[in-house]
Amino acid sequence: MAGSAYDTVETDVLVIGAGGAGMRAAIAAAGSGARVLVLCKSLLGKAHTVMAEGGMAAALANVAHLDSWEAHFADTMKGGKLLNSWRMALIHAREAPERVLELERWGAVFDRTSSGLIHQRPFGAHTYPRLAHIGDRTGLELIRSLQDRLVHTGGVEVLMETTVASLLTREDRAVGALAYRRADGGLLVCSARAVLLATGGAGRIYRITSNSWECTGDGPALAYEIGAELQDCEMVQFHPTGMVWPPGVRGILVTEGVRGEGGVLRNKDGERFMERYDHERMELSSRDIVARAINAEVTAGRGTPHGGAYLDITHRSADYIRGKLPSMYEQFLKLAHVDITREPMEVAPTIHYFMGGVRVDAETGATSVPGLFAAGEVASGLHGANRLGGNSLSDLLVFGKRAGEAAAAFSSDHPEPAAADRVQVDLAIDLLQDPLTRPHGESPYRLQGELQDTCTRYAPIIRDEQGLREGLEKVLDLRERAERCGTGGPTGRAFNPGWHTAHDLRSMLVNAEALFRCALARKESRGAHARSDYPRQDPRLGQVNMVVRRSEGGMAVRAVESEPVPYDLTEIISQSFQKYTPEELS
């Protein structure tokens, strides 16, 4: 099929993905004078960021006056079990307040304190109330504010429902991408001076997930294919509270805001079990600990009828709950026939976030491939072994801006036209169109389902060597079958989800393989990665990243020492932060 027709487009900075990070990066790149092209898989404003509920973490100190970037930095590092890139954690803690205030100046609306400042709610493992929020739909507010800013920013073009199939290179530098339009299946070759990945996570490789359909890990896969390094792919966050019943809604997110607003967890005996797992922080412990606690209660036979825990906020007034948690109220009433102002919710862990991803430079989001940048969930480093709630929305803004500016700078430093050669383009087109030539090939939906079952079963909350090995074998077997899979039937090009799924599968398999390989390599328990055969933290692995790279013999993982945390910052991390000022205590 070589020689297929395609449209061409040329730009300075190509942004792939239009969630919070992609849009913030596009605005920043355009602000630096670059022409920007944004490609997104869905309609604008529908990206997974829209589902973020609780808020964005920033040490504004509007509610707790003692809050500071130091405290936010320390919480982030401790929450990440010190696996974090300290440089990213430092930048994030220092710049998040500015980014939140900037968003407000672009029209975002937040709940207010009595003195009229942005209100902040408490969240798991944050020492102080720190999350700027609007009810329980902060992600929507963020995405809509950025969307409106973006469409009124000059020099930015957005192509919606356009999926990137491959990145293109020239002399080991990223110079563009091959994409297809979902609507008509038409092909598009984009030439760019810099490429920025903002594709989010890979939650769909699991069966039970809070993630939307498009979270298929495209970014790590695209980057890996052209030789970029990934890291820490074993670090997959189970959000402690997803819906469990009825089966049709299993996995849908129940915001941590419920616990932030005072919700308590109980087992079937009515015991407030977090007492036994984290006496001090209770329900507002870090997500890895709460998820494992619920898992342990269920395993010990103390789970609810549908295999979860009860989450109870009924001690708050009905008006308060409907005001602060409106979409949770609606979600349970409509989908589970549960009135959360009167009855407890049933919740269980659900796959939520990938701390691992593309390995980047802390300051710029530059990857190990020149001209390729990454920001947001697709990038790895800020969150270490466990992400704190609220840190992802601020991550998107802080590092979206930085990566956008860096990509624009790279573009202006490389003004010569960059284009991939025709042979490379044709190979990428053949790979993309392959499933269309196999109407009788295996169904991509079936393969996707088997992959989801494999990850769910063999890379669960508590892992072990044998399970991980079996999982990896199954993934490798699936990869082989996927190379021969079809569209499941009809081979039309116009909006054919069978074809789209066959393509997504390629990305998902790279992410799954990296997950199993990294999980096998990390022989300890740390943060989100818990192993029954290595139940303890190994201090020697505290500053080691599992780095994934494509090699001659396939996917290779090696342990790479990270840069040690400087002495002064180590002191900040071990410092104990006073919760209240003397005036607040009296």
Nearer to another protein, 223 or 485 (CB): 485
User: Can you read off the two tokens belonging to residue 214?
Assistant: 């498009």
Q: How many CB atoms lie within 10 A of CB 22?
A: 32
β-strands 187-197, 372-374: how paired? parallel
CB of 492 vs another protein, minimal distance in Å = 6
Instruction: Return the amino acid letter for 235.
Output: M
CB of 202 vs another protein, minimal distance in Å = 15
Q: In what order do the strands lie in the sheet containing 120-121?
A: 56-57, 131-132, 120-121
Nearer to another protein, 94 or 144 (CB): 144
CB of 144 vs another protein, minimal distance in Å = 7
Residue (of 480, 499, 22) closest to 219 by Cα position: 22
Nearer to another protein, 45 or 260 (CB): 45
Distance between CA atoms of residues 41 and 178, nearest Å:
13
Residue (of 573, 556, 576, 525) closest to 84 by Cα position: 573
Distance between CA atoms of residues 245 and 102, nearest Å:
40
Calculate ∠ Cα 365-257-573, nearest 5°: 50
CB of 445 vs another protein, minimal distance in Å = 4
**306 included as an active-site residue:** no
Nearer to another protein, 48 or 173 (CB): 48
Nearer to another protein, 65 or 112 (CB): 112
**239 included as an active-site residue:** yes
Nearer to another protein, 2 or 318 (CB): 318
519 touches 541 (CB < 8 A): no
Residue (of 518, 440, 450) closest to 479 by Cα position: 450
User: Which positions ≥6 away from 399 have C-beta within 8 Å?
Assistant: 21, 88, 91, 92, 365, 375, 376, 379, 382
439 upstream amide cis, omega within 30 of 0: no
Active-site choice (35, 204, 239, 316): 239
Helix (H) or strand (E) holding 39: strand 36-39
382 touches 402 (CB < 8 A): no
CB of 346 vs another protein, minimal distance in Å = 12
Helix ranges (DSSP H) in 300-421: 318-324, 326-336, 391-413
CB of 131 vs another protein, minimal distance in Å = 16
Active site residues: 239, 259
